[in-house]
Amino acid sequence: MGKFVITKRANGEFQFSLKAGNGQEILGSEGYKTKDACENGINSVKKNSQDDSKFESKKSKNDKFYFNLKATNGQIIGTSEMYETEASCKNGIASVKSNAPAAEIEDKA
């Protein structure tokens, strides 16, 4: 089962990552000024990860694939790692969709 891990950055901001059952990070967040805002981001991922239209697949300048998960307002709430192939990127999206809704929250901040 996946889990969200909340950590604190060196600049004092909070961030979360969604990790798959094998511990691999499948989605990372931006920095948030407060832990409450970070937790709201997690709740937004849980909700929006079930809507295919909220995922945006992209190709980087170095020809790697990644995706963003967007909230209803269009703001990016999570970004994936870089993938070698488009198929791997699609598998990453499927992993977020299956892991996020029931993922526990581990607070390491």
Domains in the chain: boundaries: 3-107
Secondary structure class of 49 (helix, strand, coil) = coil
pLDDT, residue 1, reads: 84
Give 10-residue mean pLDDT values along the chain (109 residues). 96 97 95 97 97 97 97 95 96 97 96
pLDDT, residue 4, reads: 98
* Third-level CATH fold of 3-107: PH-domain like (2.30.29)
Q: Do 46 and 96 contact (CB within 8 A), yes or no? A: no
Distance CA 49, CA 88 (A): 17
pLDDT, residue 66, reads: 98
In angstroms and rounded to an integer, the radius of gyration of the C-alpha atoms of the chain is: 13
CA angle 30–35–41, rounded 5-degree value: 45
pLDDT, residue 47, reads: 97
Closest CA to 15 of 25, 28, 2: 28
pLDDT, residue 29, reads: 97
pLDDT, residue 67, reads: 98
